[in-house]
Structure 1
Amino acid sequence: MTEDEIRAGREAIVAEHGPWGSANIALPYGLFTIDNQPRGDNHRTLKFLQIVSDMLDRPLHSLRVIDLACGEGLYAIEFARHGAQVLGIEGRAANFAKADFARAALELDNLRFVQDDVRAFSAERYGQFDVVLCSGILYHLDQPACFHFLKAIRAVSTALCIIDTRIAMQPEIAVAFEGRTYWGSIYREHADTDSPETRLANLGASLDNPTSFWFTRLSLANLLTDLGFTSVFDCLAPVPLNTRADRVTLVARPGRGQRPFNAVAARLDGLRWPDGEQE
């Protein structure tokens, strides 16, 4: 695209879908989707890049990456600019249009955006990925959808999954899934009387479910290990700019379970974090 084409395209996107909200992306010719200042989710771009680089110790261009509920495409575009093969899935048409415009402006042939509901996401539909980015979506899903979503993530993950999400600060309700109990709280996304159009237009909420289920930090860690991630890390650095107590970045890795020769240590295999009434 020429500079004039990018300017005109950006204006057309804003006219139809409104301004960019959280993805401040540097475009060619010194242009930006918002402006030249770090805004929205830019701080997580650095965080996710560093996590992937440190944990996998592989060139970014060698990776296959999926960004789930990718919004306006910020992280997907960043990994694609580093040469990775990237797929971004986004449910809202406005976000999809903004993401795909930025992709075209940057001429990223190794990046593809698909408009789809992540609740329909599966390995059968999309294949497997070295890196799964799950940022800002888990806490917008209700149960049991959130459980099946994480189960699908495990099925597609071959090396690394990053889950950046808000969490319940107290274990208020218990939910059973596949014979295990997990704790969290209910969060109101929409009024029951909101129309489908109103819900879709509320970009900071779920696509349609009126409530969502927020896991406690310990129950989320338990679920990830129950699903087959053999290591789960709580990432404290790089530190995001808008640190909040009810948001975490968990890094999960699938692997082969190890069993120690020490019979005493081996008795600890399968131990879970106590949560809720187990405490």
Structure 2
Amino acid sequence: MSILDQYVKKFPTYQNAIDIFKGEWSSKLPPPYSELVAGQIPLFQDSRIIWAEEQLNGFKSCKVLELGPLEGGHTYMLEQMGAQSILAIEANSRAYLKCLITKEILNLKKARFLLGDFVTYLKNTEDFFDICIASGVLYHMQNPAELIQLISQKTTKLMIWTHYYDQALIKNNPHIPQNKFSDSVASDYQGFKHTLYRQNYHESLKSNIFCGGTEHFSMWMPKQDILACLTYFGFKELKINFDSTTHPNGPCFCVIGFKSN
């Protein structure tokens, strides 16, 4: 393979940029760019973010921290909804570069994308945010309770969308391999006692479209443990929506949390 193979000799278009990761996109771009060939999931027009805007009294003039922006779909929505700034942190280098392509195509002005580990960032930053959006990341953690605790130190408003562990629902889900989950372990994080269930990535780690955690496995929590953890670390007021027991990747739900100052 020659370095010359990396050159694009066609007329310059946004599609050329998207095709750097051809076949790897999850999201369908919004109008007027919806004719561009990317993915199919409407993450740039996501009802979960619309609901979050309603429940959180809007994003206008807010300083937002977004964990795991994937391809920038929610980032775009947050800017459209009037956020003052969005700091989006992505660990997957391919996803990060797709976010930069999104930023260029959609001309995002309020968003800044950083490549790296958001857990390390939360442990070291002195920044405080009006709102944290953590969609699709909690179930990819080794220590999900730690992530909730770290977020609780950096904001008073939180939106999480996540899968959760439910043995009966997972057992009866034909899309989930029997070997996806293995061990369970009792855990105690800063006095919060809960149970974690090991979720194994297996063959998905060989795919360029993998957008999971940074290790070969992650630890899932039951829904009630997630809610109890949020309460334990200060998010006393919780609102729940989008609870699905039939999602092909496992049961999931969305929760908004408010923490008293």
Question: How far off its partner does 1:66 sit?
Answer: 1.9
Please name the residue that 1:155 is paired with. 153
Report if the CA contact (8 A) 1:89-1:114 is conserved.
Answer: yes
The separation in 2 between residues aligned to 1:94 and 1:126, in whole angstroms, is: 28
The separation in 1 between residues aligned to 2:46 and 2:123, in whole angstroms, is: 25
Q: For residues 236-264 of structure 1, give each alpha carbon's deviation from its aligned partner in whole angstroms, at most 9, with x where no partner exists.
A: 48x8x9688611111111115xxxxxxxx
The separation in 2 between residues aligned to 1:142 and 1:99, in whole angstroms, is: 24
Report if the CA contact (8 A) 2:238-2:255 is conserved.
Answer: yes
The separation in 2 between residues aligned to 1:213 and 1:32, in whole angstroms, is: 36
Please name the residue that 1:77 is paired with. 76
Report if the CA contact (8 A) 1:25-1:32 is conserved.
Answer: yes
Please name the residue that 1:115 is paired with. 115
- SS state of the match for residue 153, structure 2? helix
Q: Quick check: 70-79 or 169-178, which moved more? A: 169-178
What is the letter of the counterpart of residue 219 of structure 2? F
Report if the CA contact (8 A) 2:88-2:112 is conserved.
Answer: yes
- SS state of the match for residue 129, structure 1? coil
Please name the residue that 1:230 is paired with. 236
CA RMSD of aligned residues (A): 3.1
Residue 154 and residue 202 in structure 1: after superposition, are their counterparts in 2 closer, same or farther (change >3 A)?
same
Report if the CA contact (8 A) 1:66-1:76 is conserved.
Answer: no
Residue 178 and residue 10 in structure 1: after superposition, are their counterparts in 2 closer, same or farther (change >3 A)?
same
Q: Which consecutive residues of structure 2, in runs of 5 or more, have no partner in the other structure? A: 1-10, 169-183
2:210 alignment partner, one of 203, 217, 222: 203
What is the letter of the counterpart of residue 91 of structure 1? A
Residue 30 and residue 236 in structure 1: after superposition, are their counterparts in 2 closer, same or farther (change >3 A)?
closer
Report if the CA contact (8 A) 1:26-1:32 is conserved.
Answer: no
- SS state of the match for residue 95, structure 2? helix
Q: For residues 189-248 of structure 1, give each alpha carbon's deviation from its aligned partner in whole angstroms, at most 9, with x where no partner exists.
A: 247xx9xxx5684514322x12211010111111111111111222248x8x96886111
Residue 43 and residue 106 in structure 1: after superposition, are their counterparts in 2 closer, same or farther (change >3 A)?
closer
Residue 30 and residue 42 in structure 1: after superposition, are their counterparts in 2 closer, same or farther (change >3 A)?
closer
What is the letter of the counterpart of residue 234 of structure 2? G
Please name the residue that 1:264 is paired with. none
Q: What is the 5 A alignment of 1:26-175?
A: 26=30, 28=32, 31-32=35-36, 34=38, 39-42=40-43, 45-53=46-54, 55-58=55-58, 60-84=59-83, 85-122=85-122, 124-125=124-125, 127-143=127-143, 146-158=144-156, 160-170=157-167, 172-175=184-187
- SS state of the match for residue 174, structure 1? strand
Q: After TM superposition, which residue ranges in structure 1, 4 or more long, deviate above 6 angstroms?
A: none
Pairing 1:251–2:256 present? yes
The separation in 1 between residues aligned to 2:45 and 2:135, in whole angstroms, is: 9
Q: TM-score, normalised by structure 1?
A: 0.73
Question: How far off its partner does 1:123 sit?
Answer: 6.7
**What is the number of residues matched between the two proteins?**
235
Q: TM-score, normalised by structure 2?
A: 0.77
Please name the residue that 2:176 is paired with. none
Q: For residues 158-209 of structure 1, give each alpha carbon's deviation from its aligned partner in whole angstroms, at most 9, with x where no partner exists.
A: 3x21111110104954211112311231111247xx9xxx5684514322x1
What is the identity percentage for the equivalent residue pairs of Structure 1 and Structure 2?
Answer: 18
What is the letter of the counterpart of residue 34 of structure 1? A
Residue 34 and residue 200 in structure 1: after superposition, are their counterparts in 2 closer, same or farther (change >3 A)?
closer
2:196 alignment partner, one of 160, 167, 184: 184
Report if the CA contact (8 A) 1:83-1:110 is conserved.
Answer: no
Pairing 1:18–2:8 present? no
Question: How far off its partner does 1:51 sit?
Answer: 2.2
Question: How far off its partner does 1:12 sit?
Answer: 3.6
Question: How far off its partner does 1:49 sit?
Answer: 2.1
Residue 109 and residue 121 in structure 1: after superposition, are their counterparts in 2 closer, same or farther (change >3 A)?
same
